[in-house]
A and B are shown apart, each in its own frame.
Chain A
């Protein structure tokens, strides 16, 4: 069993950034990796060695001044694969539980599972905006809604479209994103989740042939405040009378601004409880 030692120091992110910039040229072969992570107020640099390092040596080659703390510990012998998955725990949002392939068995009784691997696209559920949308959608379902036409605008991983497909078997569901990589991942996720009926395509906002003239009973739009504001007239126009849009991706301080624009577009806006400073709004066309 190979043993490893971890040397750790803390400082400002930029300062540690300067240190790692030259690290690869000066480190001995026994240093097998480094990692630099933001930990809120401070950043942390770890250097991992496969022989016990001499701290004075490390200070010298890495150029770490005496004013900075430097500690060394023998790394415990861990099941690293298991540990790496512990940070990717399933997430619940309303009726839905999002999980990675390694957690297939972890979906609680009565919850609807959605399998999403952490990949380049946004939307693993480890974020308040996605959860906010899933909760708002679950509440709609609880109130008896069953929209027949759904658009997931800015679909990322298509998590919201998949949630819709799993609960609205008769609905027509479209998922679009400005980012082609996200659309590829969306199609793959739809296949994995047994919801291949979802149409995934690349589009900027509602500007796309497949969206022209179409009306929806439900639109998900988890984008960003600015994009949501720009898209407000188009989104309002793409809603059926009585149709709803779930808006997310806006911070608490942006809520009033976004609300105003949607009200001006003729919608009635309801605010959901914020999650970690992220707001979700449900806007209804009269």
Chain B
């Protein structure tokens, strides 16, 4: 019998390192999802990944409070900040420059994120990533 879906929770969870402290606790706790069970299942599923990498995670919660979850690749901003070796994007993109990434780096990121990008081919995906870089205040070099 298909169980009735009560709702969805979306958040970023560090790969292999989910724990009940915020932001996971408040997001799941207020909906009665068993936080410990989630952390156990999530860490088991992401143990092969680079530890601590932010994983966009969508949790489906059923009316009996059981849940399933799906994970996606880390957001482009995570890869871009890593490539540019910076902590934060620019607070005023367009006027100040926070750092720079090369087209080759954008291409690598596009490869890693390809399945989650709405792109027909790698060239188009690379352009999407370069666009995200610019909107974070990063300069894109050849």
Interface residues of A (CB under 8 A from B): 2, 4, 6, 20, 23-24, 29, 32-38, 43, 46, 48, 50, 75, 78, 80-81, 83-88, 100, 102, 117-120, 122, 124, 126-127, 129, 223-224, 249
The CA-CA distance from A129 to B3 in the complex, in Å, is 12
Q: Is B93 an interface residue (CB 8 A)?
A: no
Q: A35-B10, A87-B65, A223-B1 are in contact. Are A117 and B34 (CB under 8 A)?
A: yes
Task: Determine which of B1, B7, B9, B66 lies in contact with A118 in the assembled complex, contact meaning CB atoms within 8 Å.
Answer: B66
Contacts of B36 in A (CB 8 A): 81, 84, 102
Q: Does B31 lie within 8 Å of A32, measured CB to CB?
A: no
Scan residues 1-35 of chain B and give those whose CB is less than 8 A from a CB of chain A.
1, 3, 5-12, 20, 22-23, 25-35
Q: How far is the CA of A24 from the CA of B31 in the complex (A)?
A: 20
The B interface is mostly helix, strand or loop, or mixed, namely: mixed
The answer, among A86, A124, A129, for a CB contact under 8 Å with B66, is A124
Across the interface, do B1 and A224 meet the contact criterion of CB distance under 8 Å? yes
Q: Are the CB atoms of B25 and A32 closer together than 8 Å?
A: no
Q: List 5 A-B contacts (CB under 8 A).
A: A32-B11, A32-B27, A33-B23, A83-B30, A87-B65
Interface of A is mostly: mixed
Count contacts on B: residues with CB < 8 A to the other chain.
36
The distance in angstroms between the C-alpha atoms of A53 and B8, with both chains bound, is 22
Closest A-B pairs by Cβ, 7 of them: A87-B32, A80-B25, A37-B7, A80-B29, A33-B11, A32-B23, A118-B66
Contacts of A88 in B (CB 8 A): 32, 34, 65
Docked-complex contact A81 and B35, CB < 8 angstroms: yes
Interface residue B61 (Cβ < 8 Å from any Cβ of A): yes
Chain B residues contacting A23 (CB-CB under 8 Å) are 10
User: B67 at interface (Cβ–Cβ under 8 A)?
Assistant: yes
